[in-house]
Amino acid sequence: MLIAGIAGASLGTEIAKALNHAGGYDILGCDISPLAFGHYDERFASTFLVDREGYAQNLLDLCLREQVDCIIPGGDEPAILIGRDHELFTRAGIRLGQNNPQLTERLAHKGHCFEILESAGVRTPRTRTMDPGTDIGDFPMPCIVKPAVASGGSVFVFFVRSREEARLYCTYLHNNGRTPILQEYLPEDRGEFTVGVLSLPDGSCAGAIALKRAFHSKLSVSMRGPDFLISSGYSQGLIEDFPAICETAELIARRLGSTGPLNIQGRVAADGTFVPFEINARFSASTYLRTLAGFNEVDWYVRHLLGLAPRGALGITPGWYLRTLSEVAVPLWQVVK
């Protein structure tokens, strides 16, 4: 098993935890940075530096040399790059532990993502891509301004109360080489959920799990004010059966044509409807919390790809699932080169 992208406190290392928890895997990791936390994480049997230039071919060479059976991307960028060159790996008999490349690419741009959802009949917050020169017009305030691409973990996500503030932050993102989107703000008071839906290559649903996020810790909060809350990328909270939430998430997965892991973040509207505000066609960085709850989606999906029977059903043990950060000291002589 190779995890491509192993930065600390992020998706790649959480996937490694899930695989290690299941047992029976020789877990390898790779990253473009010598300071990626995973290089110094004992759950990995070996780790490797890969050059960003020619990334997919470099990964393939590594896979062939190390006799890798399956690759799982440990972040959004590796998922997109691997997806674009997926035929390189499939021709070599290497399985890809990710969603189909078409969906991964389509959902990467958040403006396009919500256009697709709306056309599929999914209720969404009002969303508008702000290309240079686009008028804010009558877009409802307050709202969220965020990048159209790479907004995971609430990076460069802003809450604005007026059109003047919206223009300011849109200009800021444009000046930093990013295309902003405006998105209707959904209040958090009725609950925010992160939901994983695991679909099989034939489109059928293997299972879904919902976590109701808790915001008692600063770790889970990116920004908070008297009338708003923007969550961070570090989910923690209550896992139990949330049938209505999971039913909506499974419907979204079917309508999108999901054939692998799909992570959906959303909030509950005044009428009780679960409304998504962020969707990514990959595993979630909360996947290890799900594993602890009895829902090891990573192990289940990898075994399916390798033609192995599942170890058991994807179950759920209700409870509170919490997290923190961990530390490691790396002497200079141990830095990966």
pLDDT of residue 326: 84
Q: Are strands 46-49 and 70-73 parallel, antiparallel or unpaired?
A: unpaired
Task: Give pLDDT tens digits for 210-246.
Answer: 999 999 999 999 999 999 999 998 999 999 999 999 9
Task: Give pLDDT tens digits for 200-212.
Answer: 999 999 999 999 9
Tell me how far CA of residue 273 lies from CA of 107, 125, 189, 208, in angstroms. Answer: 22, 12, 13, 17
**Per-residue pLDDT at 153 exceeds 60:** no
| CATH architecture for residues 126-184 | 2-Layer Sandwich (3.30)
| CATH architecture for residues 2-98 | 3-Layer(aba) Sandwich (3.40)
Q: Cβ(259)–Cβ(288) under 8 Å?
A: no
How many CB atoms are closer than 10 A to CB 280? 23
Distance (Å, whole) CA 303 – CA 10: 23
Model-wide pTM > 0.85: yes
Distance (Å, whole) CA 153 – CA 54: 27
Task: Give pLDDT tens digits for 283-324.
Answer: 999 999 999 999 999 999 999 999 999 999 999 999 999 998
Task: Give pLDDT tens digits for 46-99.
Answer: 999 999 999 999 999 999 999 999 999 999 899 999 999 999 999 999 999 999
Over range 118-123, report the average pLDDT.
92
Q: Cβ(194)–Cβ(213) under 8 Å?
A: yes
Q: Grade residue 154 by pLDDT with cuts at 50, 70 and 90.
A: low
Over range 248-256, report the average pLDDT.
96
How many CB atoms are closer than 10 A to CB 228? 15
Distance (Å, whole) CA 114 – CA 128: 9
Where along the chain do its domains lie? 2-98, 126-184, 192-321
Residue % of the chain over a pLDDT of 90: 90
Q: Grade residue 337 by pLDDT with cuts at 50, 70 and 90.
A: confident
Q: Are strands 28-31 and 46-49 parallel, antiparallel or unpaired?
A: parallel
pLDDT of residue 133: 85
Distance (Å, whole) CA 221 – CA 229: 7
Q: Which CATH superfamily is domain 192-321 in?
A: ATP-grasp fold, B domain (3.30.470.20)
